[in-house]
Amino acid sequence: DSGVTQTPKHLITATGQRVTLRCSPRSGDLSVYWYQQSLDQGLQFLIQYYNGEERAKGNILERFSAQQFPDLHSELNLSSLELGDSALYFCASSVGADPNQPQHFGDGTRLSIL
Amino acid sequence: QKEVEQDPGPLSVPEGAIVSLNCTYSNSAFQYFMWYRQYSRKGPELLMYTYSSGNKEDGRFTAQVDKSSKYISLFIRDSQPSDSATYLCAMMSLWAGNMLTFGGGTRLMVKP
């Protein structure tokens, strides 16, 4: 158990809808990262937050947004969903924002778009 | 061409064999190198974390980094059926925040 908690484990919805994925980092970790894992693209970095502030951004679509709250949990919001958004979404956390601090992953949320 | 290339496998070995997993990369700015293990329906689990070139050993696992060749390896000694999983290499540079760039993963099957 990595200590990173993601809910829900599985989400089924339809095209055009909006969903929110939730992540609680390990106790004491200030950085949260979101990744998308799909069969064709593999694991890809979406966005990083550190202590409530956006720190780095990857190839995140404009339809996607995230935030980190004062209690350090984070939410990833996906809107106007398309079939191609079906994937596993992982959250990871690390102690700080330095690159020498490893990232620990949760077990993901499986998003299925019908 | 992807920044990090990894043979997808599957790689099938008998129990007790030495396993060699490899990744090549093209971005010379990568300084931090990691290996993650991912079981089906689970998140990636960090196995090894190394900085720059050299070797690092942890139990049955040894990670090697050759920056001159842009090549990293993970060796698993005395492989067990419980090692059957997908192994992902990941890399990070100092100038891209803490963004991890992953290889596509190698599926390993260790047969009893």
Beta carbons of A31 and A73 less than 8 angstroms apart: no
CA of A15 vs chain B CAs: smallest distance (Å): 24
Asked if the Cβ–Cβ distance from B98 to A56 is below 8 Å, we say: yes
Percent of chain B with pLDDT over 70: 100
* A106 near B CB under 8 A: yes
**What do you get for the CA distance between the two ends of chain B, in Å?**
37
Q: Tell me which DSSP letter residue B94 carries.
A: T
The contacts of residue B65 (CB under 8 Å, 6+ apart) are B33, B50, B52, B53, B54, B55, B72
Cα Rg of chain A, angstroms? 13
Gap from B94 CA to chain A (nearest CA, Å) = 7
Contact A35 B98 (CB under 8 A): no
Residue A59: pLDDT above 90? no
Query: Quick check: A21 and A76 in contact, CB under 8 A?
Result: yes
pLDDT tens, position by position, B25-74: 999 999 999 999 999 999 999 999 998 788 999 999 999 999 999 999 99
Tell me which of A43, A46, A107, A110 to substitute to probe the interface with B (most B C-beta atoms closer than 10 Å).
A43
Tell me whether A70 touches chain B (CB under 8 Å).
no
Distances from the Cα of A106 to the Cα of A4, B76, B84, angstroms: 5, 24, 20
- Reported as a pLDDT band with limits 50, 70 and 90, residue A112 is very high
Is A58 touching B (CB cutoff 8 A)? yes
Contacts of A108 in chain B (CB under 8 A): 42-43
Beta pairing, strands B106-111 & B11-14:
parallel
- Residue ranges of E strands in chain A: 5-7, 10-13, 19-24, 31-38, 42-50, 53-57, 64-68, 74-78, 87-94, 104-105, 109-113
